[in-house]
Structure 1
Amino acid sequence: MEQALADILADILPRTAVPYHVILARICGALLCVTVIGIEREMRGRPAGLRTHLLVGLAAAVFGLLAGEVVRAPIYDIDQVRSDPLRVVEAVTAGVAFLAAGLIVFAKGEVHGLTTGAGVWLAAAIGLSVGLGFWIIAIFATLVGTVVLHLLYQVERHLGWK
């Protein structure tokens, strides 16, 4: 019975390539970064707001973490299994592109939702960046994305484009 409990605990908390406290930091970091984008979209009353951006960023970070762990996991270190973390990037990109496409609407001769779709795509890229450990890329993308969404919106309004 004791051995069974130890086996279950070892299965729940296996050895990881990235320490658990770093995993937690990456998940929290991804959530903090995409919160900035999500709040901006929420303030504009867009269909994909804070919760959507948080879920997309969280999922992308988890996929990034899993990709890194699978590549380094001893159980997959056999000739028949080839790990390629770029496939995860491609899969996340394709999945989020599908989600973003659902946000884009063509009505009355006008396209709506392109910026929201792009924001969701950006949230996934930010989450994936942090999940894979590329914090600087994620932070810089968050800052630039915020400038594009907020400040350029103000410029467009000032110029009468919106």
Structure 2
Amino acid sequence: MFELDYLEITGRLLAAILFGGVIGYEREIKGHNAGLRTHILVCVGATLFSLVQIQATYTTIKLAMESPNLFQVLNTDITRLPAQIVSGIGFLGAGTIIVTKRSVTGLTTAASIWATASLGIAVGMGYYFIAFSGCLIILLVLMAIRKVFRVQDYKTLEISYYKRKETKKAIQDYFDRQKILVMDMDYLVDSYKEDKAVYLIVYTLSIPDKLGSTRIVGDLSELDSVIGIRTIKDF
């Protein structure tokens, strides 16, 4: 009566995957930084925190009923310290997010840190099944979700080069041959080197599954007028 059974815990965690995944998938197919894995991790983490809260409440009630002389324990919030942990971990996770004018990185790492905090709280309070099942689900989301759901891959590529018109055309010709779609583009004159203007283009690309960003960087670096390439992506 005063505890969640294993089936109920598992069902709630699976429901968190479903509901977080539905929203995350919609965000990811539209190219937003917080995508499938980030939404699932946040939803699962919030579910784990809630399960710990419920189980802690059940434990408190059970203790009070078994020992009437400790009935005043019902006035004690045993989740006060874990609540402070949640807030503190939020700041730690925020420190892993890097925001620039062109990209946002580290969202999935921040979400995984926050979700992992819920595992530590569950272990510390002795709710081992909640911690164990939550750990398996978080690992599943981080390691396997991309293989199960084939979401269009978006990458941000920063290219520095000379010879503006010729190089820009050569890059676009390469994208056309490889069926790479340019979703967004940011263009500026970066600096001057050896009395030559150095141009900088930041491409947001939709890349086919068979083509990796490493190969794209290697191919484009063979252009004589390209002097630097950098990939920017969400971890």
- TM-score, L = length of structure 1: 0.45
Greater Rg by CA: 2
TM-score (norm 2): 0.32
Q: Tell me which protein shows more strand as a share of its residues.
A: 2
